[in-house]
């Protein structure tokens, strides 16, 4: 089982979109996939829920507080199993995180699922808080979506600092690896986007000792449209450039982490 945190504390860069579409790709390739939504915005949950499904059942809150077990919380979807989130995670976080063992809870829970899943994808919130630390402590890899924009560099430097802090403690996660950094919402017709390729390549080498992934997810209305239809983009429009890109990203990811 490989646990991958999809993380960038910058908002709106395509984390949840990537989590949903990677789940769809991996499960269509016969992999057993679990999505973990630890974002109070619950976008991955909303994407995966059946129209008629219950949203008021046990969520990641009950799981992390120990009030419910994994089997009570996990739900199934057409793109794999998932642990749902809901808005109350934000208001309950201070109490949850008041427990010093909080950041280790998710790792303990996932350790019991090793035989069940091939891949676990954690959709992180756009923040550096106890939830993201819990995700990074529980993960083998971090996958970093970023836009190819001038201010994206600030975000990437901040990510490097966060990862270093988690790796720096032998009790947290010294073995945490960067699976890759890749461009989302990419507009190849913008000069700045093309220039950022080189800048980001240098930064990835210096900060993470890695390369920028070859796959770039293009900015296209197919993505928001597919999400409104609650479908992975490949099931919404198979010939979409974004569908081909998410397939290529999956290839690259699997090549990197096995
Ligand atoms: N390749 C794309 N082309 C067009 N729109 C996209 C693309 N990827 C994501 N989007 C849109 O951009 C918005 C942000 O995407 P998403 O919710 O995946 O980002 P996020 O990083 O999870 O955001 P947050 O930080 O708020 O959790 C969404 O409205 C989504 O539909
Ligand atoms: Mg999100």
> CB under 6 Å to ligand 1: residues?
11-17, 39, 41, 43, 126, 184-185, 217, 219-220, 223-224, 227, 242
Q: What is the C-alpha to C-alpha distance for residues 165 and 237, in angstroms, rounded to an integer?
A: 41
**Summary mean pLDDT of the chain:** 95
200 C-alpha to ligand 1 centroid (Å): 20
Which residue owns the Cα nearest ligand 1 atom 9?
A: 14
Q: Which pLDDT score is estimated for 56?
A: 64
The tally of domains found in the chain comes to 1
| Helix-strand-coil split of the chain, %, nearest 5 | 45, 15, 35
Per-residue pLDDT averaged across 178-198, rounded? 93
Q: Kindly state the DSSP code that residue 203 receives in the 8-state scheme.
A: H
Per-residue pLDDT averaged across 115-139, rounded? 97
Q: Which residues pair with 144 in a beta bridge?
A: 181
Q: Which ligand is nearest to the CA of 233?
A: 1
Q: Which pLDDT score is estimated for 150?
A: 87
Phi then psi for 41, rounded to 5 degrees? -65, -25
12 C-alpha to ligand 1 centroid (Å): 5
pTM of the entire predicted model: 0.97
On the question of pLDDT at 145 being above 80, the answer is yes
On the question of pLDDT at 54 being above 90, the answer is no
Q: What residues make up the domain containing 234? A: 2-6+11-257
Burial 4-38 (b: 16+ CB within 10 A, else e): bbbbbbbeebbbbbbbbbbbbbbbbeebbbbbbbb
Per-residue pLDDT averaged across 132-143, rounded? 98
CATH number at residue 116: 3.40.50.300
C-alpha pair distances (Å), 158 with each of 34, 129, 151, 203: 27, 13, 11, 12
Per-residue pLDDT averaged across 73-97, rounded? 96
Per cent of the chain over pLDDT 70 is 98
Q: pLDDT (tens digit, 9 = 90+) per residue, 38-47?
A: 999 999 999 9
Per cent of the chain over pLDDT 90 is 91
Estimate to the nearest angstrom the gap between the alpha carbon of 34 and the chain centroid. Answer: 11
Indicate which atom in ligand 1 lies nearest the CA of residue 218.
Answer: 1
Q: Which pLDDT score is estimated for 3?
A: 98
């Amino acid at each position: 089982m490989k646990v991958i945190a999809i993380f960038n504390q910058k908002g709106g860069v395509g984390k949840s979109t990537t989590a949903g579409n990677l789940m769809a790709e991996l499960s269509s390739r016969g992999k057993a996939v679990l999505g973990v939504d630890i974002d109070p915005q619950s976008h991955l949950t909303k994407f995966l829920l059946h129209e008629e499904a219950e949203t008021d059942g046990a969520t990641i809150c009950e799981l992390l507080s120990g009030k419910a077990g994994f089997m009570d919380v996990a739900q199934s979807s057409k793109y794999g199993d998932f642990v749902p989130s809901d808005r109350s995670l934000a208001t309950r976080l201070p109490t949850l995180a008041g427990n010093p063992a909080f950041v280790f809870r998710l790792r303990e829970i996932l350790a019991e699922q090793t035989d069940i899943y091939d891949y676990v994808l954690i959709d992180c919130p756009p923040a550096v808080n106890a939830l993201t630390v819990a995700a990074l402590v529980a993960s083998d890899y971090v996958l970093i979506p970023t836009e190819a924009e001038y201010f994206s560099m600030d975000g990437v430097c901040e990510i490097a600092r966060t990862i270093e802090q988690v790796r720096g403690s032998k009790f947290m996660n010294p073995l945490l690896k960067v699976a890759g950094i890749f461009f989302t919402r990419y507009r190849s017709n913008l000069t700045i986007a093309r220039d950022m390729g080189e800048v980001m390549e240098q930064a990835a080498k210096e900060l993470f000792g890695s390369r920028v992934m070859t796959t770039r997810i293009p900015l296209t209305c197919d993505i928001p449209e597919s999400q409104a239809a609650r479908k992975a983009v490949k099931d919404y429009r198979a010939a979409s450039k974004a569908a081909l890109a998410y397939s290529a990203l999956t290839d690259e990811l699997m090549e990197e982490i096995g």
